[in-house]
Amino acid sequence: MKIFYSDNHRKHHPPFEVFDGGKRVPYLENPNRMDQILHALQKKDWAEFIEPLDFGLDPILAVHDKDYMTFLATAWSEWLALDPEVAASPDQNAFLPATFALRRMPRVPSTLLGKAGYYMMDLSACIVAGTYEAIISSAHCALSAADSTFRNQHSAFGLCRPPGHHAGKDYAGGYCFINNASVAANWLSSKGKVAILDIDYHAGNGTQDIFYKRNDVLTISIHGDPDFEYPHFIGFADETGADAGLGFHKNIPLPKDTGNAEYLSALDEALNLIKNFAPNYLVVSAGMDTFDGDPLGTFKVTREGFAEIGKRIAALHLPTAVIMEGGYANEALGTNIVTLLENFNSP
């Protein structure tokens, strides 16, 4: 199996994030996540590591707003120029806004901090010096996996960091800046029908935002009910698409303590929808934070559960681009993703 990975992700390593209630904590979406996955994959003779191709910005701009991307590219350098204290100790700081747009009046401010509040959804999408280079490389990992899937009509893995499924057309959030899976799916959509299956613990709000009015890409997200779980304002069962996309989006929110049996039942529902849609390609947003014991999740999915999830998705026999999303139980993360991927590596 081709594994597309870039060490550029290490350039995005914020010194902290801010949890609910204003608590400052070490950044959970950190480079150690990738180290754990790499260590586990390097033990497998079926894992072939490849540097991603450079697809330029066009496939990203086909999904994300141009001004938003410009903001991501320039925010850090603009902030350094505005704040001498930050410039004196950049490694101890991360760029975050203090005011967030409600978007009832969608006007983009002219000031840097105003733009930050408009383009950022929360306090986890921290920007540091290397963030932009890392997110571009992450998107290219996803695009390379999609390209491999198309050219070889076989599955591939985009080992993406930062993750992407919380990033909307023009906003960052939930550790995500570019929606890697959506960029890959949109690129594949010119080759045939595409379905996106999001198995991350949190609702794929950004993916929903991007494809909500389209009928050429079926989007499905299985996740913790937003009534109690992040991202809180999107991911409910009655959100099914709009305009041409009505009926082409499916949210399957699940309660706390969902275990293997309940999760697999929801997965079967999603897989039946994919079969009926009959896509040419599948993109899987593979979050491992459904794992029992993940610090950011409440589900009870076990390693045996991941094996069965991988087996059932692979049984669709679709060329599949698996894109890395969340998962924060780092010691188990590598084994969990390998357990999922092993079902996709046969010729």
- Please give the positions annotated as active site: 166
Q: How far apart are CA 77 and CA 129, in angstroms?
A: 8
Cross-strand bridge partners of residue 3: 49, 157
| 26 cis-preceded (ω within 30 degrees of 0) | no
Q: How far apart are CA 159 and CA 142, in angstroms?
A: 8
Burial of 257 (0-12, 13-18, 19+ CB in 10 A): exposed
Residue 103, by phi and psi: left (phi above 0), alpha (psi -120 to 50) or beta?
left
